[in-house]
Structure 1
C-alpha cells in the first residue's frame, strides 16, 4: 500500500518537476538556469525579416521562435551540454530533445525549415533535413531569406540569399527588404541598435530604453533582447547611457 501511495505521489509531482523552458529565439532557449544555443544550426535572428512566396516582408525571426516554443509546449526537454558558446559567453552549446523523443530539436528545426545547418560546426550533419525542407519549401524556404550570419555582419552586398522565392535580377530590391532600417521591435526585445559606416567597416551602437538617445533614434537597424546579446555581436553601448 505504501509503495502504491508513493508511486501515485511521484506521478502527480512529475509534471511540476519539469524545468521551465523559455525560448528566446529560433535556436536559443533557457532551461532552468542554463541558456542553450542549439549546436550546428542557425535560425533567423529575432529581429530578422524574410520574404514570403509573394515577395512580402514577414517577421521570420519572431515566427521561428514562436514555432519552436509551440513545438516544445509544456513538455520536458533534455540537453547534452557540449561546452561554452565561443561567441556568447553566457550560453552553452547543446544538443537537445523533447523527453522520450529520438529526434533532436536541432534536427526538427532544420527539417521544418526554421533553421539551416551551420557550417563548419554542423560537421556534415543536417544536410538531409535541409535538403528536404528546401525541396518541399517549408518554413523559410517558401520565400527568400538571407543567411542569419550575413544579417549579423550586415553583409547586404554579399549576402547569401536562399529559398524558392528568390528571383534573379531582383537582388537589390530583395536586400532592401531583408536588411531593413525600420524593423519593428520584436516582443520583449526593446534594445535599439544602429550601424554606422566607418573607414574599416561598420560600428554598432546600442541604445537602452533608459538612454537619453533612445527616443531620438527613430530608425533601428537591429533590435536586441539583452545587453549580452548586443555585446556578443560587437555592438557598444551609446555614450548617452549611464
Structure 2
C-alpha cells in the first residue's frame, strides 16, 4: 500500500505523462488538458506559408504540425513543466519527449528543420541542431521562409528571410509571397484576422464564423484556430461578434 501511495505521489509531482497527445501546431502540444509550448524553439505559425526550393508557396505551418504529429504517433509523451507561458496565460512552457527516448521533441523539430532555435530562450541549446538542418537543407531550410516571430508581428519590411532557397536581390518580391492576405484557411482554423489601425491598443481585429462581418471580410492577414490564440497575438474581437 505504501509503495502504491508513493507511486501516486511521484506521478502527481513529476513530469506529466499522457497516453494521448494532440499537436495543435509545430511547437505546441496538448496533454490531458494542459497546453505546452515547446521551450526554446519557434515553428511556423499554423497559417504561415513558405517557399520551396522551386520558389513555390506551400503551407509550411500546417506541414510542421503534421510532421510532429506523425512523429509522435500513438506513443506516450512526457513533458517537463517549466512554468507559465508569458504570452499565453492558459499555456505552459515545456520540454517534451517521447517516453524512453533521450532526444526531446524540441531538439528533434530543430534538427529535422521544422523549427528554429528561439533566442534568448534557447540559450544556445539548439545551435548545433539548427546548423545541421541548415547545412543539409532539411524541412524549411530547403526553401525560403520568414522567422515566425516576424510573421506574428506582420513585420513585412524588416522580416528576416532565411533558408537555402532565399535569393539575394529578391527580398521584396519574396516578402510579398510570404506575407499574404489571400492565403487559404488552415484546416480547423476558421477565425479570420486583419491588421487595423482603428483597433487602438491592438494589432487588429478577429472575426468568428458567426459574426456579421465574417463573410464581408475579403482580405485576411492571419488565421487562428481559437480565440485564445487570436487574443494572445494582440487581436481583439470584432464588435459585430457581440
What TM-score, normalized by structure 2, do the two folds share?
0.91
Q: Structure 1 residues 143 and 66 mapped into 2: Cα distance closer, same or farther (>3 Å)?
A: same
Deviation at 1:137, TM superposition (A): 0.3
Q: CA deviation at 1:219?
A: 2.2
My pick for the range that moved more, 112-121 or 200-209, is 200-209
Cα deviation for residue 202 of structure 1 reads: 7.5
Unaligned segments of structure 1, at least 5 residues: 1-16
Q: Counterpart of 1:10?
A: none
Matched position secondary structure for 1:75: coil
Residue deviations 1:142-175 (CA, integer Å, cap 9, x gap): 0000000000000010000000000011011100
Aligned to 2:237: 237
3-state SS of the aligned residue for 1:92?
strand
Following the alignment from structure 1 to structure 2, what is the Cα–Cα distance between the partners of residues 57 and 198? 31
- Residue 73 of structure 1: CA displacement? 0.2
Distance in 1 (CA, whole Å) between partners of 2:176 and 2:200 is 22
Corresponding residue for 1:163? 163
Q: Paired residue for 1:50?
A: 50
2:122 corresponding residue in structure 1:
122
Whole-angstrom CA distance in 2 between matches of 1:58 and 1:108: 22
Tell me the SS of whatever aligns to 2:157. coil
For the Cα contact (< 8 Å) 2:199–2:236, is it kept in 1?
no
In the TM superposition, 1:55-74 aligns within 5 A as: 55-74=55-74
Q: Distance in 1 between matches of 2:202 and 2:240?
A: 20
| Contact persistence 2:18–2:31 (CA under 8 A) | no
- How far apart, CA to CA, are the structure 2 residues paired with 1:221 and 1:19? 36
Normalising by structure 1, report the TM-score: 0.91
Aligned to 1:29: 29
Tell me how far 1:194 sits from its aligned partner: 0.5
The separation in 1 between residues aligned to 2:77 and 2:107, in whole angstroms, is 14
| Residues 11-59 of structure 1: per-residue CA shift (max 9 Å, x gap) | xxxxxx9531110000001011100000000000000000001100000
Distance 2:58 2:83 in 1: 34
1:140-151 map, 5 Å:
140-151=140-151
SS at match of 2:110: helix
For residues 185 and 87 of structure 2, what CA distance do their matches in structure 1 show?
A: 24
1:135 aligns with 2:132: no
The 1-side partners of 2:239 and 2:32 are apart by 34
Structure 2 unaligned residues grouped into runs of 5+: 1-16
Structure 2 counterpart SS, 1:106: helix
Corresponding residue for residue 176 of structure 1: 176
- Counterparts of 1:132 and 1:122 in 2: how far apart (Å)? 16
Task: Give me the whole-angstrom Cα distance separating, in 1, the residues matched to 2:24 and 2:187.
Answer: 10
Find the residue that maps to 2:203 and give its secondary structure: strand
Between the aligned partners of 2:197 and 2:33, the Cα distance in structure 1 is 38
Distance 1:199 1:212, change over 3 A: closer
Q: Which residue of 2 aligns with 1:77?
A: 77
Give the Cα–Cα distance (whole angstroms) in 2 for the partners of residues 110 and 208 of structure 1. Answer: 33
Cα RMSD (Å): 1.6
Per the alignment, residue 101 of structure 1 pairs with: 101
